[in-house]
Chains A and B, each alone.
Chain A
Amino acid sequence: MKNKRNRGQIQLGETTAVVIIVIILLVIGIVFWNKVSVSNVKDINTQSNELAVIEIANMIPELPELKCYESGVNKVKCLDWYKVLAMNASINNPDDTSTFEFYNTYFKNSRITVVRMYPEPGAGPNNATNITIYDAKINRSTITSLISIPVNIKDYAAKKTYYGQILVEGYYNEQ
């Protein structure tokens, strides 16, 4: 009888040990799986933010409100400088935020700058080299990605064509 009781106690101990080990392995598995999932989510988030910036950069030269039109035909990768200036004035108008709010749905958390690079424009009120047409103004500690797209910039008043760039910086929070 005594032997049987001892054997029972040993079996109970073994079962308890197995249960505890299985629980520990399960907990380790869950923790590991969770870390891998979080890492995957971070990667997907970063990728999605970068894609959003590329999407914005591709969209800008296609906007009719910025594009060059000649004889009713739009020109590929060409911005009308006075349309750029007009958009800059309207989006950054502190008295009327409706234009900013409208373009916020397109440009989201980004900063968009149009740069005239060559030839260098001379002095004058509308002759700036860099125009930031849109800035979501999210604090600068956020991570950004930068995309630049080469474009022609036409000044129809001065009848000049410049070589320039559209710079798109996407802001996004580090997870």
Chain B
Amino acid sequence: MKNVKNNIQKRNRRNLQFHHKGIIDVQFNWIFVMIAGFVMFLFIISIVFAQKRSADTQAGISAANQINTLIKGKQQTANVYSEITIPLEKVNFQCDAAYDTFTFKIENAQPTPLQTEIIFAPQNLATNKIIIWSQAFTVGFPVSVFTYISTDKSMILIYNDSESTYASQIYADLPNNISRRQISDPTEISAYNSYDHVKIICFEGSGCPPANYEYMRIIPGSSTTGGVTAPISNMQVGLYDYGTVIFHKKGSTLPDSALQTTYYITESGLYGAIFSDNVGFYNCQMSRALKQFEVKRSLVESRLLLLQNVLEPDSECRVATNTTLELEIKDMRNPVLNADNVSSLYINSKYLDARNTDLQLSSCPQIY
């Protein structure tokens, strides 16, 4: 009986030992499962975040590629209007005149360099619809194609309180898909506060908004020095020939400050000023455009020099070619954007057009 009791006690002790071991095993298993589960959870979360980052980057790159393709396409054809819908993106344009570089950057994507494209746009856009329009920039001979970028959240307000023909002309000539309105009273401006970018333009002689608004004043065919507006030349010039533009800063007491005054030449140049939101960006793009102008001018000069060598001496064709070369082409060398140059470039371009027609009528090789 005593033996049986002892045996039962022994068995119970052994069972208790095994049971303790089982409890420790189960606890270790749970700790192991928790650690492994946590590691796996972290791993899955990191994959999800990596995928999200990758998808964002891909969307940015894809949007940048779409914009890039559209911009480069515009370089081949002038006066074309296009729209592109992209996922809501922040687009930034950077122009550096010192290094002659221009880039655009979409959030989450690397900056895309646009080495030859001349683009006028607000420097920062937050949009899912980009509107692109282009115009040829020709100064007698073709130089480049200017591209203008806007959004459906941009508005051009043409201030016209005295039935200005310039205001009506520019209103009619902008593409219908680009939002623009003619206004005659400053109180009307507040109705457009919901737009991201509002550009107010006005003309010399037809009134401008009060000084507490930011606006751009256009003075066709004139220059402004120390607040005095004077004609650049004695020629009768139209709105799209050349002129002065003043980017008036909000509240500025010096509306004609030299820093905010710049110049335009041709219709495409004027649109460039209208689509730019500050004078620095406009001047930077025009500086790049004039560098391209110099390359194209040097090619025309080179071609005329080669033609001179093969044309009969004293022939009408050779005399006309030589005159064009000496009087216009060489005179247009290395222009910078200033009042004198815009008028002389305009005058020379008109002479070039006339001489080109004359050469063609005389069955001579044309200038361009």
Contact = CB atoms under 8 A, between A and B. Distances in A.
B295 interface: yes
A66 to B, nearest CB: 9
A102 B292 contact: yes
A156 B368 CA distance: 11
A118 interface: no
Contacts of A64: 141-142, 368
Contacts of B360: 70-71
Contacts of B251: none
A89 interface: yes
A46 to B, nearest CB: 19
Contacts of B302: 86-87, 89-90
B54 interface: no
Interface residues of A, number: 28
A80 B365 CA distance: 10
Interface string B348-366: 0000000010001000011
B365 A99 contact: no
A72 B352 CA distance: 12
B129 interface: no
Nearest to B303: A86
Contacts, number: 62
B234 interface: no
B366 A157 contact: no
A125 B309 contact: yes
B324 to A, nearest CB: 14
A33 interface: no
B116 interface: yes
B368 to A, nearest CB: 7
Contacts of A77: none
B303 A85 contact: yes
B298 interface: yes
B365 A82 contact: yes
Nearest to B142: A64
Given A65-B296, A90-B299, A99-B299, A156 B309 contact: no
A150 B99 CA distance: 38
Interface string B295-339: 110111011001101110000000000000000000000000000
Nearest to B298: A90
Contacts of B366: 69-70, 156
A126 B302 CA distance: 13
Given A62-B76, A85-B306, A86-B306, A105 B115 contact: yes
A157 B295 contact: no
A25 to B, nearest CB: 18
A156 B365 contact: yes
A96 to B, nearest CB: 8
A162 to B, nearest CB: 15
A106 interface: yes
Contacts of A86: 299-300, 302-303, 306
Contacts of B307: 82, 157
A105 B299 contact: no
A105 B116 contact: yes
Contacts of B292: 102
Contacts of A80: 303
Nearest to A99: B295
A62 B294 CA distance: 20
A89 B302 CA distance: 7
Interface string B132-143: 000000000110
A62 B232 CA distance: 36
A83 B299 CA distance: 7
A99 B116 contact: no
B299 A65 contact: yes
Contacts of A102: 116, 291-292, 295
Interface string B262-302: 00000000000000000000000000000110111011101
A149 B76 CA distance: 18
Contacts of B311: 157
Given A102-B292, A126-B306, A126-B310, A157 B365 contact: yes
A98 interface: yes
Given A98-B295, A102-B292, A105-B115, A83 B365 contact: no
Among A71, A72, A157, the one with the most B-chain Cβ atoms within 10 Å of its Cβ is A157
Interface in A54-76: 59, 62, 64-65, 69-72
Nearest to B302: A86
Contacts of A72: 356
14 contacts: A59-B76, A65-B142, A72-B356, A80-B303, A85-B303, A85-B306, A90-B298, A90-B299, A99-B298, A125-B309, A125-B310, A156-B366, A157-B307, A157-B365
Given A69-B368, A158-B310, 4 more contacts: A72-B356, A96-B298, A98-B295, A156-B365
Closest 5 CB pairs of A and B: A86-B303, A156-B365, A86-B302, A64-B142, A105-B115
